[in-house]
Amino acid sequence: MSLMKYIIFDFNGTILDDVDVCVKAENHTIEHFGLERGPLSKEEYLRIFTFPVKKYYENVGFDWNRNPYSEVGAYWFDWYRALRDEYKVFDGVREVLEECHEKGYRNILLSASSLVELKKQLEELEIADLFDEVLGIDNIYAGSKVDIALDWIKDKDPKDCLMIGDTLHDLETAKAMGVECVLVSKGHQTKDILLSEHNKVVDDIREVKLP
């Protein structure tokens, strides 16, 4: 059995505890654009959140004929950043990242967030030095990260990698790379949704068994 050399972490919902902030930002966005629905509850958010994020917005009730996706996404993002003092790193994350380094692994951050924004958040959260590589996208509208993942892994052995995420999109990304995946059920999708497609689901990142 080969020694795993890379631990690939998703960011939002895996490293960053930001579900409540996302719901608040969404409700400001719903009100601003005058959707004919009530506020989004956290429970509803966890049931309907999905990738691509554009599909999630459609689940909320946005009509792109009325409001362009770019405008909706930009408005939501402005509120998300305005509320940044309310999100935080999950308990246990720092110790897991430090343990990975102690075991000789490289910590890779892979996200559908803007790369510039991602690096800014890592600095604000004071965890930038715990990652060896940061992989993100070049816009704020959260498209698929599969292409980024495939480009990164092309010169590596998938057997040397473990991915830790919180959504079925992370599982999809891991499968595309051919790497093992563990999902943590504290993020942006319910445990039942995760278990519907994967059997390696834990309640806390500290439960992930590092090789």
79-121 pLDDT tens trace: 999 999 999 999 999 999 999 999 999 999 999 888 899 999 9
pLDDT of residue 144: 66
Residues with Cβ within 8 Å of residue 47, at least 6 apart in sequence: 190, 193
| Tokens 């009730």 -> residue | 61
Q: Which helix H or strand E contains 114, and what residues bound it?
A: strand 106-114
Q: Would you say residue 3 has pLDDT above 70?
A: no
**CA 2, CA 73: separation in Å to the nearest integer?**
42
Q: What is the CATH number of domain 6-18+89-207?
A: 3.40.50.1000
Burial class (CB in 10 A: 0-12, 13-18, 19+), 90: buried
Question: Mean pLDDT in the chain?
Answer: 94
Prediction pTM value: 0.93
